Amino acid sequence: MILSARQLLQKAGFFVSDPHNIRSISFDLIARRDSSLLIIKILSNVDSLTGAQGDELKSISSSLDAAPLIIGIRAGTGPIEEGAIYSRFDIPIINIQTLYDYLIEGVPPLVFAAPGGFYVNLDGEAIHRARSERDISLGTLAEIAGVSRKTIQMYEGGMGAMIDVAVRLENFLREPLVLPIDPFDYHPLPNAPAVERELEGLEREIFELLDGMGYAVLPVKRCPFEAVTTLENGDLFLITGVSETNRNLARKARVIVNISRVAEKDTVIFIERVRTRTNIEGAPLIGQDEIEKASDPDIIIDLISERRRRKHGED
């Protein structure tokens, strides 16, 4: 499923991160096209997504100014229907065919699943305009639709409607009223819930130093990196990795660099002490002692810029 989704996104012109084959990760792919950035989780059964995983997916998306998306096959015991948008923990869910129809065929989904069945978004302004121009009372339209006068007013205000109600309104008013749905249009609020994670050792020491220098540090839990950080004024964004030892550091660096390139964010790996290498796989390395000596955030920024340009293995 991950490979199919990746190929589809690439065909649609997205720059897509590599599949990393990491268990229990909070996302599987990051994809960018122009200014649109997607953080994608792929599941066979979307009911397996826990609240903690959903919070982290939204938290990372909020930090990256991205839209979270889940691609799935089933919801509970039933299939995820083609052309419909579902949601879990307020994260949009579609199947792979709906993604294909939207990206390749240019056919957006029209239906969303909610308690009680499937619904559509109505063009409330069009309903109100047609009713006013034709001098149709709320009572008449309510009788046609089989709902109350208050419900018609709520439709005009933007409330969704059952599919059969939408069909009756369109047939009576002889106007298209159903609005397409953009599955990429959801952006978590800036105050998306932070991930609760106990910090210890080098990781805690590094994050405390960064916090003292004016960085906002958002620890993450189920990711190839340990945190996303930014200056409090928003000028700089880093995807950070912290490593106690050099074991598997090259693999970790490749993953983080690949993600950061797609997200178009700077990345850095903090280690206990920089010895011979200051760059690995394109990721700048900065030692804890260097952070301790830095008097302001600009020094860290300069180190990252300088070491990012160096070739792998070059001192």
DSSP string, 187-232: ---TTPPPPP----HHHHHHHHHHHHTTEEEEE-SSSSSSEEEEET
> What proportion of the chain, given as a percentage, has pLDDT over 90?
57
Helices (H), the chain: 2-11, 51-64, 96-103, 124-133, 138-145, 149-156, 163-173, 201-212, 249-263, 288-293, 297-308
Contact in structure between 292 and 209 (CB atoms under 8 Å): yes
What digits encode the pLDDT tens for the residues 182-226?
Answer: 999 876 555 555 556 677 788 889 999 998 888 988 888 888 888
Amino acid, res. 208:
E
- CATH fold of 118-179 reads 434 Repressor (Amino-terminal Domain) (1.10.260)
- Looking at per-residue pLDDT, the higher value among 36 and 231 belongs to 36
Q: Considering the domain 201-308 in this protein, what is its CATH number? A: 3.40.1350.70
Amino acid, res. 237:
F
Question: Which whole number is the average pLDDT over 6-16?
Answer: 97
- Looking at per-residue pLDDT, the higher value among 76 and 171 belongs to 171
Alpha carbon distance 25, 150 (integer Å): 46
Q: Is it the case that residue 314 has pLDDT exceeding 50? A: no
In the prediction, which pLDDT does 247 show?
A: 67
Buried b / exposed e along 72-96 (16+ C-beta atoms within 10 A)? beebeeeebbebbbbebbebbbbbb
Domain with CATH 3.40.1350.70 in the chain: 201-308
- CATH fold of 2-109 reads Trna Endonuclease; Chain: A, domain 1 (3.40.1350)
In the prediction, which pLDDT does 120 show?
A: 94
Amino acid, res. 98:
T
Domain with CATH 1.10.260.40 in the chain: 118-179
In the prediction, which pLDDT does 190 show?
A: 53
Which three-class secondary structure state does DSSP give residue 5? helix
126: pLDDT confidence band, cut at 50, 70 and 90?
Answer: very high
Tell the residue number behind the tokens 């030692």, with chain if given.
287
In the prediction, which pLDDT does 92 show?
A: 95
Angle value at C-alpha 46, between 38 and 49, nearest 5 degrees: 80
**3-state helix, strand and coil shares in percent for the chain, rounded to the nearest 5:** 35, 25, 35
- Looking at per-residue pLDDT, the higher value among 121 and 187 belongs to 121
Please state, in angstroms and as integers, the Cα–Cα distance from residue 187 to each residue in 8, 34, 60, 63, 221, following that order. Answer: 22, 16, 11, 10, 21
Separation of first and last alpha carbons in the chain: 41
Model pTM score: 0.87
Instruction: Look at the chain and count its residues.
Output: 315
286, two tokens: 């900065």
Alpha carbon distance 63, 237 (integer Å): 9
